[in-house]
Amino acid sequence: QKEVEQDPGPLSVPEGAIVSLNCTYSNSAFQYFMWYRQYSRKGPELLMYTYSSGNKEDGRFTAQVDKSSKYISLFIRDSQPSDSATYLCAMSADNTDKLIFGTGTRLQVFP
Amino acid sequence: EPEVTQTPSHQVTQMGQEVILRCVPISNHLYFYWYRQILGQKVEFLVSFYNNEISEKSEIFDDQFSVERPDGSNFTLKIRSTKLEDSAMYFCASSPEVNQPQHFGDGTRLSIL
């Protein structure tokens, strides 16, 4: 079983749609959960950072962590063509710097 | 907004040559990292660095790799004798503390011929 699993997509949605992106993981030691956005030929850009379980909202983005199910989600409301990118989940455990990434989900929002 | 900068954006090197990739982390950050992403694959951790020492490294980071903070602003990754399989995007990242968000640069694309 892979440590972090993420559906690679591509996911294609119309402008204005609600997008749901997900990752599952196997390591119960993970406590820190991040979502990054990566445009073509660019580095990962931090979108959301959460610790342990719960929800966090920032503008059109909501991150959810369910540690009991080892499942994290990123919701994008009112999606825009500029949201078209690859979305990477990443996570780490206490007392380690190492981020474990998912493979990324490619999202395309069409006008 | 402060950002991590990496140079060069693209490096082409002959197999067996040494290469140095350079990074300027965000100025008040204390933890520095290198990751790599082989084309079509996931981003993989290479090494973390704090207080002028390696704090953690992956199995990928073998004796061919080394890191250094030669002055107060730069952070470098050296590959001593490059192999074809070292071709990848190399990302530098920094964070203010451990378990705090890591901010990434735009990477150096390393092509080994």
| Contacts A–B by Cβ distance under 8 A | 59
Q: Give A80-108 pLDDT, tens digit per residue.
A: 999 999 999 999 998 788 999 999 999 99
Instruction: Give pLDDT tens digits for B19-48.
Output: 999 999 999 999 999 999 999 899 999 999
A102 touches chain B (CB under 8 A): yes
Please judge whether B98 and A95 are an interchain contact, meaning their C-beta atoms are less than 8 angstroms apart: yes
Residue type, B33: Y
**Closest residue, chain B, to A30 (C-alpha):** B99
Separation between Cα atoms, residue B95 and residue B31, nearest integer Å: 5
What pLDDT is recorded for position A94?
Answer: 87
Output the average pLDDT for chain A.
Answer: 94
Q: How far is A56 from chain B (nearest CA, A)?
A: 15
CA distance linking residue A81 with residue B108, whole number of Å: 27
Which residues in chain A are closer than 8 Å to B4, comparing Cβ atoms? 43
Q: In what order do the strands lie in the sheet with B65-68?
A: B5-7, B19-24, B75-79, B65-68
Judging contacts by C-beta atoms under 8 Å, the chain A residues touching residue B39 are none
Does residue B39 contact residue B86 with C-beta atoms inside 8 Å?
no
Chain B's closest residue to A44, CA to CA, is B104
Residue A2: is its pLDDT beyond 90? no
Q: For residues A70 and A44, what is the distance between their CA atoms, to the nearest angstrom? A: 23
Contacts of B106 in chain A (CB under 8 A): 41-43
What the block records as the tokens of B9 is 């954006």
Which 3 state secondary structure label does DSSP give A81?
helix
Residues 6 or more apart from B14 whose CB is under 8 A from it?
B82, B112, B113
Nearest-Cα distance to chain A for B74, in Å, is 18
Distance between B27 CA and the closest CA of chain A, angstroms: 18
How much is the pLDDT for B6? 97
How confident is the model at residue B99, as a pLDDT? 85
Pairwise CA distance, residues B18 & B37, whole Å: 19
In this prediction, residue A68 has a pLDDT band, given cuts at 50, 70 and 90, of very high
Q: List residues bridging with A54 in a β-sheet.
A: A65
Can you tell me the mean pLDDT for B52-60?
A: 95
Q: Which of B48, B57, B59 is nearest to B92 (CA)?
A: B48
Cβ A9 vs Cβ A105: under 8 Å: yes
Smallest Cα–Cα separation from A48: which of A68, A34, A37, A67?
A34
Least confident residue range of A71-80, B7-16, B65-74: B65-74
If one counts every other C-beta atom within 10 angstroms of the C-beta of residue A23, the result is 26
